[in-house]
Amino acid sequence: MFENIVKTTEYIKNNTKYNPKVAIILGSGLGDLVNFVEEKEEINYEDIPYFPVSTVAGHAGKLVFGKINNVEVLLMQGRFHFYEGYSMKEVTYPIYVMKQLGIEKLIVTNASGGVNETFEPGTLMIINDFINFMGTNPLIGKNDERFGVRFPDMSEVYSLELIDKAKKVADSLNIAYREGIYMACTGPNYETAAEIRAFKTLGADAVGMSTVPETIVANYLGLKVLGISCITNMATGIQKFKHSHDRVVETAKKASENFCTWVSNIVKEF
Ligand code: HPA
């Protein structure tokens, strides 16, 4: 894998003049942040050697380089989900590439279901910890010490320093946010009501189908991670109607203005 990552990174470096230290993975319905990027350079996933290709509706697959508020950034527009059939190594491949590109700080974002009943659709939640309920792990397999240690520490998976910065920025902009624990399931089905009651007991505030694999690998590689989740719906059993992906994307789009303002100001503080 190391050799593939080196080749992928070479290709990307040859196709951009930028050298960002900050990367952002955009979740469902949160792609509008690309409109905040100036002097954009885009690379389609399908053109990048060894890069997986995204398939889900609503997930464009490209890397976007440029500047937000004069800070060089790399945006991943479209991520790879385990439920699409990618292996955990494929899901997290871009994180290895980011590290090789010189990225130091990663903002992971997603759409999720609210398990904490004091949330409401549209709530923006700083992720302060996760519960991996995917039943697997992206670090399973022979360990390559060039990347990281065999048994990586996960005691501060979301950087307290970055959380503090995100809070200060939100307060200065009068953007409301909550804080909580993100629980990841594989999907692709939404959870049952019984599962959500169980997850609540386990301490989850939000539930979703992404982000945790990328966060694990980012920590393994020594990146600092900030996580922001958009609660697009209340989880099964709390919400009284059935789920629809269209509504998830629609609610995320509504919250997107605050989200974009917030994140574009956070990167200035990094
Ligand atoms: N469950 C899992 N993933 C989600 C949800 C949900 O309710 N909403 C958005 N992504």
* Residue 250: predicted pLDDT: 87
Mutate to test the pocket of ligand 1, among 108, 191, 234 (most ligand atoms within 8 A of CB): 191
Q: How far is the CA of 191 from the centre of ligand 1 (A)?
A: 8
Mutate to test the pocket of ligand 1, among 192, 211, 248 (most ligand atoms within 8 A of CB): 248
Is the pLDDT confidence value at 58 over 60? Answer: no
Give the pLDDT band of residue 86 (cuts 50, 70, 90).
very high
With a 6 A CB cut-off, is 232 part of the ligand 1 pocket?
yes
Please give the number of the atom of ligand 1 that sits closest to the Cα of 239. 7
With a 6 A CB cut-off, is 191 part of the ligand 1 pocket?
yes
* Residue 10: predicted pLDDT: 98
With a 6 A CB cut-off, is 114 part of the ligand 1 pocket?
no
* The model's pTM: 0.96
Q: How far is the CA of 13 from the centre of ligand 1 (A)?
A: 35
* Residue 238: predicted pLDDT: 97
Phi, psi of 159 (to 5 degrees): -60, 125
Residues annotated as catalytic are 28, 59, 81, 83-84, 111, 209-210, 233, 245
Give the pLDDT band of residue 264 (cuts 50, 70, 90).
very high
Is the pLDDT confidence value at 211 over 80? Answer: yes
Q: How far is the CA of 33 from the centre of ligand 1 (A)?
A: 21
Q: How far is the CA of 242 from the centre of ligand 1 (A)?
A: 12
Q: Which domain holds residue 161?
A: 2-269
Mean pLDDT to the nearest integer, 94-105 = 98
With a 6 A CB cut-off, is 195 part of the ligand 1 pocket?
no
What CATH number did the domain enclosing 8 receive?
3.40.50.1580
With a 6 A CB cut-off, is 248 part of the ligand 1 pocket?
yes
Separation CA 37–CA 65 (nearest Å): 8
Least confident of 26-30, 115-119, 151-155, 196-200: 26-30
Q: How far is the CA of 111 from the centre of ligand 1 (A)?
A: 7
> How many domains would you assign to the chain?
1
Mean pLDDT value across the chain: 95
With a 6 A CB cut-off, is 90 part of the ligand 1 pocket?
no
